[in-house]
Amino acid sequence: MTLVTMKEHFKKLETKDGSKDLEYGDHVLKVNDISEIEEVEAYLIEGCKARDIDLSHDTMAEEPLAFKSIGYGYCAGALIAYPQSTVAQNAYLIEAIKKSTKKEDYTELFSKPTDKYQSKKKFKIKKIDKLVILPGSNVLRQLVDRNVLISLAKQKAYVKLHPVTNREDIKEIKRMFNKDRIIGIEYGLYEAFDVAENIYNTTTSETAIFATMNNKGLHSIEEDGHSFRGAFSPLINCLFWGDTRKERKEIFNALMNSEISNIFHPKDENYKNKIDAFLDTIGKKGSGTFKHTWK
């Protein structure tokens, strides 16, 4: 199977015929520069080739525990790689936390988020108590608990629409939230994020990492028992294991400090060593051995 790189993937997002289904006729999806992360991607690709490991971008297949391939993608300014199995990925993350011995604080790398998507308008409100960050229409209805949204609307929360939100979903959100509490798709996300105290999102959103490393409140809007699993869902879900802001930050720092970390940031001088350790731990093709040990 031919590997679609991050650059090629984002180019498809920009040119895909679908913008006419958005609320704003002149809205064109544009992705910001990701050249810095491409060096990390290139090193991962070469490492997989050398070890005969199958690799795919932005996918989450449910392979058996003895998984045959790994996936990777862009998240929170870093590249994250993972076994193509939810069970194996969960087990790997727990093993990674167990093998975390250093105490380095990675706040600086993850405290200044940059938006993956370019925006046309600037957000001007100076303070927000509750900010709801919605996923795109491809997963919104199957992932988000509608009753939680209704409750947050009554609490006068602000809601940020994903850049890829269709007309039907925008109308639905407008029925729930007062219009002056809706931050449209033409606005950037992180101007609102920066002034928010509490973030409400899903396990598909990189904002959980940024919220954690900026000491913001983090809350789930996902429906209990849903079956959808995004590529980064197990990683983001780890953060919700923490009951406090301090505990969530400790969990993420533990993952970054692990000798088998699967999070590779271009400004981390050890990212090449981490990639090599990750791939060596995964092993040769089809040799995944991690057990589902957490309860």
Would residue 122 count as lying in a domain? Answer: no
- Claim to verify: residue 140 and residue 62 sit in the same structural domain: no
Higher pLDDT, 61 or 87: 87
Same domain membership, residue 87 and residue 53: yes
- Domain co-membership, 171 together with 96: no
CB atoms closer than 10 angstroms to residue 105 = 12
**Same domain assignment for residues 272 and 228:** no
CATH number assigned to the domain comprising residue 227: 3.40.50
Print the domain residue range for 13: 6-112+259-282
- Report the alpha-carbon distance of residue 260 to residue 189 in Å, rounded: 32
**pLDDT tens-digit profile of 256-268?**
999 999 999 999 9
User: In terms of domains, do 178 and 266 share one?
Assistant: no
1 in a structural domain: no
pLDDT tens digits along 142-168 = 899 999 999 999 999 999 999 888 889
Together in a domain, 52 and 101:
yes
* 235 and 132 within one domain: yes
Do the domain assignments include residue 239? yes
* Per-residue pLDDT at 13: 58
pLDDT at 24: 38
Q: Around Cβ 186, how many Cβ atoms within 10 Å?
A: 15
| Residue 17 resides in a domain | yes
Instruction: Judge whether 289 lies within some domain.
Output: no
Tell me if 61 sits within 8 A of 53, measured CB to CB: no
Largest CA distance in the chain: 55
CA pair distance 25, 276, nearest whole angstrom: 46
Q: Does residue 288 carry a pLDDT above 60?
A: no
Tally of CB atoms within 10 A around 50: 10
Lowest-pLDDT choice from 10-19, 167-176, 272-281? 10-19
Q: Are residues 191 and 146 in the same domain?
A: yes
Return d(Cα 83, Cα 60) in angstroms, integer.
9
Q: Looking at the structure, do residues 159 and 141 belong to the same domain, yes or no?
A: yes
Residues 30 and 95 in one domain: yes
* Mean pLDDT value of segment 44-70: 81
CB neighbour class for 236 (10 Å; exposed up to 12, middle 13-18, buried from 19): buried
Quick one: what percent of the chain has pLDDT higher than 70?
A: 82
State whether 228 and 278 are in the same domain. no
**Per-residue CA distances from 295 to 65, 109, 170 (Å):** 17, 31, 39
Rounded CA separation 42/162 (Å): 29
Residue 63: how many CB atoms within 10 A of its CB?
18
Q: How far is it, in rounded angstroms, from Cα 219 to Cα 248? A: 12
Residue 123, domain member (yes or no):
no
**Which pLDDT score, from 0 to 100, does residue 25 have?**
37
Task: State whether 220 and 263 are in the same domain.
Answer: no
- The pTM assigned to this predicted structure is 0.86
- Domain count within the chain: 2
Token pair for 50 = 């050398």
Determine the 3-state secondary structure of 280 from DSSP.
Answer: helix
